[in-house]
Amino acid sequence: MPIAHVMEAFLEKSQDFSLFCFAIGTETKS
């Protein structure tokens, strides 16, 4: 598997995780 593909998938997962954490944070604040 090409390293670029691995990095791309990893970045996509990181973005999803960041959005998830952001959603949790906003819910906690309000």
Angle 1-19-9 from CA coordinates, rounded to 5°: 5
Secondary structure letter of residue 3 according to DSSP? H
Question: Is it the case that residue 1 has pLDDT exceeding 70?
Answer: no
Separation of alpha carbons 1 and 26, rounded Å: 37
Q: What does the pLDDT read at residue 8?
A: 92
The 10s digit of each residue's pLDDT in 7-29 is 898 889 999 889 998 999 988 87
